[in-house]
Amino acid sequence: MLHRAAREALARTARQLAAEGLVIGAAGNLSARATAEHIVVTPTGAALATLAAEHVAVLDRHGQLIDGPFAPTSELALHLALYDDRPDGPGAAGAVVHTHAPMATALACVNTLTEVPVVHYAMAELGGSVRVAPYATYGTPELAEAVLTALEDRTAALMANHGAVTVGATIDHALELMRLLEWACGLYWHARAIGKPRVLDEQALAPVRGAITQGRYATRRPASGRSPDPGAARARRPR
């Protein structure tokens, strides 16, 4: 089986997302770089709770199916756009996780919410406040572009009336970021239910950002040691 280890890791992560309630049924998709030329991605309509490595699709960087029995996810344009946007260097996209996680998706349905502000220092791992990308039909280049813009300088974004996406150095890292995002959305929700949340400013966040950059913020670091550097991604952005 081509890219067996990468396919097994992706399938395992898919089953984990389902077991933790972050995806229900086929309402989510994920991908990871297997090599510079190939990505592994969940198939379209797949029940993530029972996904096996042999079901995972292997694609080239243009989205052409190389191996696997099923067509790739209908949200492929979003995944490919992210790998194109963050091809290499410290901020490279190594994996992408997209879910309709309950807390994150609920906040993404609130008309007046354009971003989830930084109410906890751990959100520095997400790059800061989490923007909400405007609504566009699933699977379209318009949605991919909107999410790309929302992800500028970030490792996470919400998608209006749809869900959430995280970009990590590895599939384990992207999974951790999705867990963190869902937790942060629940935190913000609860804080707002009681009163006006106290938002951390850039000065408060700077030491945490520094610790992340230097790898001293260890709780959520990927084993590969590749830490996302959204600034590097931004520098490459044409806009």
Contact residues for Zn ion (CB under 5 A)? Answer: 163
75 is catalytic: yes
Residue number with CB closer to Zn ion (127 or 163): 163
HSE at residue 50, side-chain half, CA atoms within 13 A, is 4
Residue number with CB closer to Zn ion (163 or 222): 163
Q: Which of 20, 75, 125, 182 is catalytic?
A: 75
Residue number with CB closer to Zn ion (25 or 207): 25
Q: Is the dihedral of CA 36, 78, 92, 211 positive or negative?
A: negative
The CB-of-141 to Zn ion minimum distance in angstroms stands at 15
Q: Which residues are within 8 A (CB) of 5 and not within 5 positions of it... i.e. 6 or more apart?
A: none
Q: How far apart are CA 223 and CA 235, in angstroms?
A: 26
The β-bridge relationship of strands 28-33 and 95-99 is antiparallel
Locus of tokens 């067996």: 4
The CB-of-1 to Zn ion minimum distance in angstroms stands at 27
Q: In this chain, which residue has its C-beta nearest to Zn ion?
A: 163
Q: How far apart are CA 28 and CA 82, in angstroms?
A: 16
The CB-of-164 to Zn ion minimum distance in angstroms stands at 9
Q: Cα 13 to the chain's mean position, in Å?
A: 13
How many CB atoms are located within 10 Å of the residue 129 CB? 18
The CB-of-73 to Zn ion minimum distance in angstroms stands at 9
Residue number with CB closer to Zn ion (163 or 230): 163
Tokens matching residue 115:
């971003």
Active-site residue numbers? 75
